[in-house]
Amino acid sequence: MSEVCAGVIVAAGAGMRMHGADKLFSVVAGRPLLAHTVAAFESCEP
């Protein structure tokens, strides 16, 4: 039987400190911040 693992990425807010820039798609170390978050989740053991 295969296991199912789910997660919720909480990302809300107006981005006032970033002057309205979309934080999830801001590039950090060559990849969007969201990609780093998803990669960290995918690397976890269920």
Residue 33: which domain range?
A: 1-46
The model's pTM is 0.70
pLDDT averaged per 10 residues in sequence order, the chain, 46 residues: 83 80 89 92 83
Question: What is residue 27's predicted lDDT score, i.e. its pLDDT?
Answer: 93
Question: What is residue 13's predicted lDDT score, i.e. its pLDDT?
Answer: 76
In total, how many domains does the chain have?
1
The Cα angle at residue 15 between residues 13 and 19, in degrees rounded to 5:
160
User: Cβ contacts of residue 41 below 8 Å, gap of 6+?
Assistant: 7, 9
